[in-house]
Chains A and B, each alone.
Chain A
Amino acid sequence: MMRQILAITAMNLRSLPQRLGSSWVIVIGIAVTVAVMVSVLAMAAGFARTLAGTARTDRAIVIRAGSNTELSSTLSRENTLTIMDAPGVRKDAEGKPLATAEIVAIVALPLKTTGTGANVTLRGIGRNAAATRPEMHLIAGRMFQPAVRELIAGRAAMAQFKGADLGSHIAFHDADWTVVGIFESGGDSHESELQGDIETVLSAYRRNLFQSVTALLESPEAFDGFKAALTTDPTLKVDVRRETDYYAEQSVQLSKLLNLLAYFVGGIMALGAVFGALNTMYSAVSARVLEIATLRAIGFGSLPIVISLLVESLLLALLGSALGGAAAWLFFNGNTVNTLGANFTQVVFHLTVTSSLLVSGVVVALFIGLVGGIFPAVRAARIPIATALRAN
């Protein structure tokens, strides 16, 4: 049995070059399906990774109750002080809380690529922000000074927006702001932002309300105590969330949309690829009716014939998925994309072709190959020998 399978399969594969033209239909149909699915899913994966990278389980963000995002939240100065003094917040060497009370404002800067205006986050950060977010560090220039109109820009913001380069000036609220430093923070969403001193930004925007407090906790377990203390405080009306939960929630919508797009478009394309594969395999079978009938006449079983045809279509599918995955990786992995995030501002992220996406591409391809191969294979094994031999 095994020997029969090997013999026929080897014979099939050796004759593949003669059927090169139609075999390409399977390979290309599958390659294109896999490439589209993997690329769209890579977009979702990149967005989720950027937002998840912003979050730590031992950091909490506090915004006004009922506001979903920082942008729509408001907190008074007294409230921010109460929040920072709550139990569970880590303290620095001087006993000050590792927390930062912040506002987010929006600045319109043109995109470097198209020149059209984009909303960029300007975040006013507190004095202890650097210690609260230890993953952030300057890679060029220096830190801004308080009370002077100076900003630092994230690495992604610098790459995407005009006017966010080191040393450039941004004019808003009747003053010139100078970008004095560039920071990176592991590719997270803060890299799409401009940051400045909270008091300077508040006074420039003539505001006196804060929007969020981010606090580094003593440990991930300290969260429950911290939350309980804030939600039972009668002077506060706030929502307390772990950063991981807060940012995961923000990527849900876009991820859902992109996944839907990937599976809807990918599903329809897969269907198309199945039709192409069926066509190719049926014509492969019909070209070899005589050959198959002869084999069966001299004693080869039906099963080896079915298996040999399946192997052929699965191998072609595998080749297609390899080409498709490689194309997605070559052309799109690491591509920079930006979209509107929860704060109505741009979040810059990179398409990320992960290995699990490539694996699911292979699975889809094999499925297409299987469906496209099984029906023609069964037909080949079922044609009455006498009819087939007489046909030509």
Chain B
Amino acid sequence: MSAQDFPRIQSAPLSLDALLSGSERDDCGALAIFAGTVRNHHEGRAVRSLTYSSYARVAEKMIREIEAEIAARFSVPVCLAVHRVGSLAIGETAILAIARGHHRAETFAAMQALVEAVKHRVPIWKEEFYADGTSAFVNGCTLVAAEDLPPAESRLHCTPVQSLAL
């Protein structure tokens, strides 16, 4: 399987070996790897588990577009990311990303941009399940086009993260 045709949204545990396989480049001296794992707390609340869901038809396309965009912007030959969906326990890997570049500076920068873009622009949602038995979706960044947003509404709402307690 080539680097381009594996699914970016996966329900099985993510494999770093699988992501790295076939990505080797003789002209690259830097390899950056990022793994985002499930944390046991959020805004002071104890978290037992997370459930990620996605709208895969858009998410698959968008992650590929982001990879190509970041690779071009930072001149790094390899930029790949995969995201897990389903119920994840504390410590499990939710996102894996790799970047291979000629030198470390652009490779680190590309990795940071790649992960930020996947977190903020791809239709993936996170529901947290708390120790007290309640759950909430983590509020994030709207994908609404700027011209369709209400006045004074900002596109980015990721800091601080707010919860929709239902």
A-B complex is real: no
